[in-house]
Amino acid sequence: MSVLVYAEHDNAALNKVTLSVVAAAKEIGGDITVLVAGKGCGAVAEEAAKIDGVSKVLCADNDAYEHQLAENVGDLVAEVGADYSHILAAATTTGKNFAPRAAALLDVAQISEISDVIDADTFKRPIYAGNAIATVKSSDAKKVITVRGTSFDGVAAEGGSAAVENIDVAKDAGISSFVGEELAKSDRPELTSAEIVISGGRGMGNGDNFEILYKLADKLGAGVGASRAAVDAGFVPNDMQVGQTGKIVAPNLYVAVGISGAIQHLAGMKDSKVIVAINKDEEAPIFQVADYGLVADLFEAVPELDSKL
Amino acid sequence: MKVLVPIKRVIDYNVKVRVKADNSGVDLANVKMAMNPFCEIAVEEAVRLKEKGVVTEIVAVSIGPKTAQEQLRTAMALGADRSILVETDEDVQPLGIAKALKAIVDEEKPDLVILGKQAIDGDNNQTGQMLAALTGMPQGTFASEVDVADGKVKVTREIDGGLQTVELNLPAVVTTDLRLNEPRYASLPNIMKAKKKPLDTKTAADLGVDLTPRVTTVSVEAPAERQAGIIVGSVDELVEKLKNEAKVI
Distance from CA of B183 to the nearest CA of A (A): 13
Interface residue A178 vs chain B (CB under 8 A):
yes
Distance from CA of B2 to the nearest CA of A (A): 19
The whole-angstrom separation of Cα A55 and Cα B209 is: 40
Under an 8 A CB cutoff, do B118 and A245 touch? yes
Residue B226: pLDDT above 90?
no
Pairing of strands A132-138, B215-221: antiparallel
Distance from CA of B218 to the nearest CA of A (A): 5
The whole-angstrom separation of Cα B30 and Cα A233 is: 34
Read off φ and ψ for residue B84, nearest 5 degrees: -130, 130
Distance from CA of A21 to the nearest CA of B (A): 17
Read off φ and ψ for residue A15, nearest 5 degrees: -80, 135
Identify the three-state secondary structure at position A192.
helix
Interface residue A142 vs chain B (CB under 8 A):
no
Under an 8 A CB cutoff, do A128 and B161 touch? no
Enumerate residues 204 to 233 of chain A having a beta carbon within 8 A of any beta carbon in chain B: 220, 228, 231-232
pLDDT of residue B227: 86
Task: Give pLDDT tens digits for B172-206.
Answer: 999 999 999 999 999 999 999 999 999 999 999 99
Helix (H) or strand (E) holding A185: none
pLDDT of residue B228: 85
Under an 8 A CB cutoff, do B130 and A101 touch? yes
Residue B244 DSSP label: I
* Stated length of chain A: 309
Partner residue opposite A179 with nearest CB, options B154, B159, B215: B154
Task: Give pLDDT tens digits for B229-242.
Answer: 999 999 999 999 99
Under an 8 A CB cutoff, do B238 and A276 touch? yes
Residue B222: pLDDT above 90?
yes
- Which residues lie closer than 8 Å to A189 by C-beta, 6 or more apart? A195, A221, A222, A223
Under an 8 A CB cutoff, do B95 and A108 touch? yes
Complex confidence, ipTM: 0.95
Strand residue runs (E) in chain B: 2-6, 9-11, 33-35, 57-64, 82-87, 112-116, 139-149, 152-159, 162-169, 172-176, 199-203, 215-221, 230-232
Residue B169 pairs in a beta bridge with B152
- pTM for the model: 0.95
Q: In chain A, which residue's Cα lies nearest the Cα of B161?
A: A183
Q: In chain A, which residue's Cα lies nearest the Cα of B241?
A: A292
Distance from CA of B124 to the nearest CA of A (A): 6
pLDDT of residue A177: 97
Burial of A140 (0-12, 13-18, 19+ CB in 10 A): middle
Partner residue opposite A132 with nearest CB, options B222, B229, B242: B222
pLDDT of residue A184: 85
The whole-angstrom separation of Cα B143 and Cα A17 is: 24
Identify the three-state secondary structure at position A49.
helix
Identify the three-state secondary structure at position B107.
helix
Under an 8 A CB cutoff, do A110 and B164 touch? no
Residue B74: pLDDT above 90?
yes
Contact A204, A96 (CB under 8 A): no
**CB < 8 Å to B180, chain A:** none
Interface residue A186 vs chain B (CB under 8 A):
no
Helix (H) or strand (E) holding A257: strand A253-257
Half-sphere exposure of A277 (CA within 13 A, CB side): 29
Give pLDDT < 50 ranges for chain A.
none
pLDDT of residue A236: 96
Burial of B244 (0-12, 13-18, 19+ CB in 10 A): exposed
pLDDT of residue B207: 97
The whole-angstrom separation of Cα A252 and Cα B120 is: 27
Residue B225: pLDDT above 90?
no
Under an 8 A CB cutoff, do A70 and B165 touch? no
The whole-angstrom separation of Cα A268 and Cα A251 is: 11
Task: Give pLDDT tens digits for B117-170.
Answer: 999 999 999 999 999 999 999 999 999 999 999 999 999 999 999 999 999 999
Return the axis-axis angle of helices A93-105 and B94-108, rounded to nearest 10°: 70
Mutation target vs B (from A68, A106, A127, A240; most B CBs, 10 A cutoff)? A127
- Quick one: chain A helix, strand, coil %, rounded to 5? 35, 30, 35
Q: In chain B, which residue's Cα lies nearest the Cα of A242?
A: B160
Distance from CA of B35 to the nearest CA of A (A): 15
pLDDT of residue A260: 97
Mutation target vs B (from A110, A216, A247; most B CBs, 10 A cutoff)? A110
Residue B114 pairs in a beta bridge with B174
B113-118 mean pLDDT: 98
